[in-house]
Every structure is written in structure tokens, then in C-alpha cells.
Amino acid sequence: MPRPMTITEKILAAHAGLDEVTPGQLVECDLDLVLANDVTAPIAIKEFRKVGIDSVWDPDKIALVPDHYTPNKDIKSAEQAKLMRDFAHEQKISHYYEIGCMGVEHALLPEQGVVGPGDAIIGADSHTCTYGALGAFATGVGSTDAAAGMATGKAWFKVPASIKFNIEGELGPWVSGKDLILHVIGMIGVDGALYQSMEFTGSTISGLGMDDRMTICNMAIEAGGKSGIIAVDDTTRAYLEGRAERPWTEYYSDPEAEYVAVFEIDAADIKPTVAFPHLPSNTKAAEDSRDVWIDQVVIGSCTNGRLEDLRIAASVLKGRTVYEGMRLIIIPATQQIYRDAMHEGLFDIFLDAGAAVSTPTCGPCLGGHMGILAAGERAVATTNRNFVGRMGDPTSEVYLSSPAVAAATAIAGHIALPDDLV
């Protein structure tokens, strides 16, 4: 009998060809997918060329997504995107997404059924941990790791210890997965889960849809985590139905599995939360933040640019118009989300409210383009990072929130809750 293990340990053991693994152990794992984007792929490709082989390990198990500076913002980024495109064509990479079918990678790959339960995935993007929401082990790495993965189909990992966050009860009105994860990061800090896997369990998690679950796992990295993970259930299976490209394997943590820490959280204690500059852990209840005046609101990104997020934003914006001088930028994360939102009539609500609706892109989330802040300006964003200079000038400020609070803020002009609006 192998030792009792967590989901994460079981996935790593299976991919390393071992019966069991122990936290701290260094293992080499076979990968199901290697991901890179227009910022990280150029360096990965350069490193790959140094290996001295002509072709990648498996052109069907590499995903290349031009989402950060695309549609190309300037000549330099056009060159980066071209380098990746040429490589994708040369290597016959099947999961390459050109403008027109592209989306923000961590919304796109789950939507397209490219990632699934039980997978071991590395991505040259820190928010690769998003796929933990589907019961996969997925972690962010750098370009050189991605290059090695593209060449060999393998990566080395230190088996992470796991922390359990058991959340029970019903979330209050206007409280979402985003508030839950901001609450957790505020509680444990930006290195509170350093090198560890964050496993989310409990009735609150079971009650959430996939979009909220992805928001939660997406921000595991913001607590320093190596990965976030949620066990597969009927909600996951329903999502995968007709979508998953490959058969999947479901793993569950053994009841006696070891956790370095277990946090019991009452869902009723979680309030609509805002992370103040300049750390995602710098959290405050939205109701105590009404004195912060805002110049721009961004609703989008791999954290909160999915259909459910846009529906919530629309429910707040419906029949209202943005505060005078407010810039509201809404960015559906994929073409499919864009189309669905359009068909549901959400675009009319957004446009009537005075919002700009953009084609899918990371855009302002990383301070790339499509909504950069001037010196001293403040934004509320449904994104995941509020570091110094993240969205523009180093003296600008980013406040992180849920789509509901972001939409209410766009109407009120200052940080607000939907129930504040008349």
C-alpha cells in the first residue's frame, strides 16, 4: 500500500512512474501539455534551438497562445508574435491560436478542452495554476523550463506539500470566487503558500460553477503557491462533457493524506473584498473602501473575463451609465465568450452604460496596451496583480476586485457595492 496521498501527490507520482511520492522529493514527470505565450515563447524558442534537435517532442502537446501584446501593439511585439507563429507553423503545433480564434490562454485552453483532470501541465506563464480547477496539476515555469519541456516532454518538480482550505456554507450576496481567494490571500499573505499546493474543499466550493473555481485556482500563485487544486465532481464532469479532447483521470485525496496546514473558513465571513495597492494580500472589505475615487475600471483577464463574470457585470450595469469621466473597459477573455456575451445581449447593456468592449487580449492586465494608466491614476480591475506599475505609470494604482464591485465602481465613480447604487 502506498502512503496516503493528496490529489497533487497522486498526479505527480503517476506522471513520474512511481507508486508514491513524498513532499520535498525531486521527481521528473512526463507532461501532458507545455504552454507558452507571445512574451515567454520567444525566449523558449531561442533556448529550444540550443538543444540541437530539429523537432519538438510532440506537436499536439504544445500550446502557443499569442494573447499578451496582441493584436500586435507595436513593431517589437509584432516581431515577437511572428517568431512564435513561424515556429508554430514550422513545428506543426496543433494548438496554436491565431488572432480571430485566440483568447486569454487560461480561459481559452480549458474552454477548448485542451486541459483536463489528472493532467500534469507546465506553462511559461505564472497563472497556469488555473487548470487546477479541473483537477489537474498545473504550474507556472519560465521559458527555459518550457523549452526543455518542448524538447523532452518532461519537467522536474519538487513535490509540494499541500495546504487545505476547507470552506463551508453559502456565500453572501455579491460574494464570488474572487472575494473568496482575495480573502484567503489576505489571510495567509503573498508568500503564505510558498512552494506549496493549495487544495480547496468544502460545500462552498462544491456549490461554485467552473468559472468561479478557475478564478480561485488562478490566484494560487498570488499566495506564492505552486498550484491550486479542486477535486473533480459533477460540475467538472458536466463542463468537460463534449469539450475534453482526451480521456481524463480523476484523482482524489486520501482521507489520511497529510497537509502542512488546514484552514477552516466559514463562507459567511467572506465579504466583497478589494486588494489595495501594491500587493494582492493588502485586502480590505469593499464596504470600507468607498472613499477611494477611481479613473478607470477594467473587467476581464484570465481571472475574471469569463461569461459568468460578464453576466454579473451586466446585471449591475443594466439600465445605468458610468460615472462622468469614468473609463470602463470590458474584455471578454475568448472569442467564444465574446460571441456568447453578444448573443445574450450583454454588449447592448455594456455599450448603453458607456463601456468600451474589446477583442480578447491580456491588454491592460499586465500594463501592455488597451488601457494604460497615467501618473497618479487609479483603476479597479478584476485582474490578479496590483504591483507597482502593473497597469502603467509607477505612481498609478490598481485595486483588485470581483466583477460585481468593479461594475458598481464604474457607476459610482468610487469603490462601491452593487447595493449602493440607486
Can you give the binding site for other proteins, defined by CB under 8 A? 26, 39-40, 42-43, 46-47, 50-53, 68-69, 73-74, 76-77, 80, 123-126, 128, 140-145, 147-148, 151-152, 156, 190-191, 194-195, 221, 224, 226, 279, 366-368, 372, 385, 387-390, 394
- Name the residue nearer to ligand SF4 (CB basis): 176 or 386: 386
Based on the shown chain and the rule CB under 6 A, indicate whether residue 112 belongs to the binding site for ligand SF4: no
Cell digits for 179? 472575494
Based on the shown chain and the rule CB under 6 A, indicate whether residue 383 belongs to the binding site for ligand SF4: yes
Report the C-alpha gap between 160 and 71 in whole angstroms: 37
- In angstroms, give the least distance from the CB of 141 to other proteins: 6
- Name the residue nearer to ligand SF4 (CB basis): 120 or 219: 219
Give me the phi and psi of 28, to 5 degrees please.
-110, 125
Report the C-alpha gap between 327 and 309 in whole angstroms: 18
- Picked from other proteins, ligand SF4, none, the partner binding residue 133 (CB below 5 to 8 A depending on kind) is none
Based on the shown chain and the rule CB under 6 A, indicate whether residue 384 belongs to the binding site for ligand SF4: yes
Based on the shown chain and the rule CB under 6 A, indicate whether residue 187 belongs to the binding site for ligand SF4: no
Based on the shown chain and the rule CB under 6 A, indicate whether residue 29 belongs to the binding site for ligand SF4: no
Decide: 213 and 177 in contact? Cβ < 8 Å: yes
Nearest to 103 by CA among 357, 380, 375, 362: 362
Decide: 121 and 128 in contact? Cβ < 8 Å: yes
- In angstroms, give the least distance from the CB of 384 to ligand SF4: 5
Task: Name which of residues 66 to 85 contact ligand SF4 (CB under 6 A).
Answer: 67-68
* Among residues 16, 34, 81, 104, the one that binds ligand SF4 under rule CB under 6 A: 104
Nearest to 335 by CA among 125, 71, 42: 71
- In angstroms, give the least distance from the CB of 341 to ligand SF4: 17
- Name the residue nearer to ligand SF4 (CB basis): 384 or 386: 384
- Name the residue nearer to other proteins (CB basis): 151 or 379: 151
- In angstroms, give the least distance from the CB of 309 to other proteins: 22
Nearest to 412 by CA among 313, 320, 281: 320
Based on the shown chain and the rule CB under 6 A, indicate whether residue 301 belongs to the binding site for ligand SF4: yes
Looking up cell 518532461 gives: 154
How many alpha carbons lie under 13 Å from residue 243 in its C-beta half-sphere? 18
Q: Coil, strand, or helix at residue 79?
A: helix
- In angstroms, give the least distance from the CB of 126 to ligand SF4: 7
- Picked from ligand SF4, other proteins, none, the partner binding residue 201 (CB below 5 to 8 A depending on kind) is none
CA 290, 294, 296, 300 dihedral sign is: negative
Report the C-alpha gap between 10 and 23 in whole angstroms: 11
- Name the residue nearer to ligand SF4 (CB basis): 127 or 271: 127
Report the C-alpha gap between 213 and 177 in whole angstroms: 7
- In angstroms, give the least distance from the CB of 412 to ligand SF4: 25
* 3-state helix/strand/coil string of 96-150: ECCCCCCCCHHHHHHHCCCCCCCCEEEECCHHHHHHHHHCCEEEECCHHHHHHHH
- Picked from ligand SF4, other proteins, none, the partner binding residue 15 (CB below 5 to 8 A depending on kind) is none
Based on the shown chain and the rule CB under 6 A, indicate whether residue 181 belongs to the binding site for ligand SF4: no
Per-residue contact flags (x/-) with ligand SF4 for residues 123 to 152, judged by CB under 6 A: --x-x-------------------------
Residue 343: which H helix or E strand, with range? helix 335-343
By CB under 6 A, name the binding residues for ligand SF4: 67-68, 104-106, 125, 127, 301-302, 362, 365-366, 383-384
